[in-house]
Amino acid sequence: MDNCFEIKDLRKVYFSGENEINALRSVNLNIPSGEVVVLLGASGSGKSTFLNIIGGIDQPSSGHVLFKGKDLSIISASDLTLFRRKNIGFVFQSYNLVPSLTAIENVALVTEICDHPMEPIKALEAIGLTERANHFPSQLSGGEQQRVAIARAIAKRPEVLLCDEPTGALDSETGSIVLQALLDVNIEFNTTCIIITHNASIADLAHRVIHFVDGQVSRVEVNARRKTPEQINW
């Protein structure tokens, strides 16, 4: 199986005042195409930083990220934009919806600029939010906003879905709807899904679980048997 991402000696240092914070210290990793991958780790262990860098929305301090053999760290800014537009669906930790657009318009914001998107309403349907389509973010609960964000990410049928705590704000029932939607996309379009979570039981859904400790990958597990969303224990 070919690799979706190959990560080589990836480092990220933040400077805040006089302090240096090593958010990532030499991460080496391969992520095969079409897998569901869960990232686990304590708060501050560098998961979000890692996800942002491989998604091309943050710059590494050093190291390389190869997406299907193409080195992201050496391509131009506009090519990086194109890369995101074509291949990556994001679900951000803080939703990041446009407050002045309704749920369906937030989805359309993305389908507008891709080649073979779903219909926005289909994407909302997939995460069970059709009746909220015309609500503004301020009229939605946190979980609902998160689901709109997911609809926005899957609507473009991306090569890769990057989800930062997609179920963090959800109850078990909606949580499993959302996870099912992600898995469906994975199966239907062979989308690689990389999901950050604090909920270790979600790891049972994954093909592969990557543990972060203090800016490094401590361990990679491959699940022999995966559970379905209904089976997991919230």
Ligand X SMILES: Nc1ncnc2c1ncn2[C@@H]1O[C@H](COP(=O)(O)OP(=O)(O)OP(=O)(O)O)[C@@H](O)[C@H]1O
Please select the residue that binds ligand X; options are 7, 10, 47, 145, rule is CB under 6 A: 47
* Chosen from ligand X, Mg ion, other proteins, none, partner binding at 5 (C-beta under 5 to 8 Å by type): none
18 binds ligand X (CB under 6 A): no
Q: What distance in Å separates the CA atoms of residue 8 and residue 3, rounded to the nearest whole number?
A: 13
The strands making up 3-16's β-sheet, listed across from edge to edge, are: 19-32, 3-16, 62-67, 70-71
Q: What distance in Å separates the CA atoms of residue 191 and residue 185, rounded to the nearest whole number?
A: 6
Q: What distance in Å separates the CA atoms of residue 133 and residue 125, rounded to the nearest whole number?
A: 9
Q: What's the token pair of residue 40? A: 């686990």
* Chosen from other proteins, ligand X, Mg ion, none, partner binding at 76 (C-beta under 5 to 8 Å by type): none
219 binds other proteins (CB under 8 A): no
Interaction mask 28-67, other proteins, x per CB under 8 A: ------------------------x--x-xxx--------
Q: What distance in Å separates the CA atoms of residue 209 and residue 211, rounded to the nearest whole number?
A: 7
Q: Which residue has the tokens 């906003």?
A: 145
100 binds other proteins (CB under 8 A): yes
Residues that bind Mg ion (CB under 5 A): 48
Q: What's the token pair of residue 182? A: 């992600």
* Chosen from ligand X, Mg ion, other proteins, none, partner binding at 23 (C-beta under 5 to 8 Å by type): ligand X
* Choices 39-47, 124-132, 150-158, 176-184 (CB under 6 A): range interacting with ligand X: 39-47
Displacement of CA 217 from its chain's centroid (Å): 18
* Choices 38-46, 98-106, 120-128, 170-178 (CB under 6 A): range interacting with ligand X: 38-46
The nearest distance, CB 233 to other proteins, in angstroms, is 30
Strand 3-16 to 19-32 pairing: antiparallel
* Chosen from other proteins, Mg ion, ligand X, none, partner binding at 106 (C-beta under 5 to 8 Å by type): other proteins
197 binds ligand X (CB under 6 A): no
Largest distance between two CA atoms of the chain = 51
Q: Which residues contact 179 (CB under 8 A, 6 or more apart)?
A: 166, 167, 202, 205, 229
Q: What's the token pair of residue 100? A: 């002045």
* DSSP secondary structure letter of residue 214: T
Q: Which is nearer to ligand X, 44 or 142 (CB)?
A: 44
157 binds ligand X (CB under 6 A): no
Interacting residues with other proteins (CB under 8 A): 16-17, 52, 55, 57-59, 77-78, 81-82, 84-86, 88, 90, 92, 94, 96, 98-101, 105-106, 108-110, 112-114, 137-138, 142, 145, 152
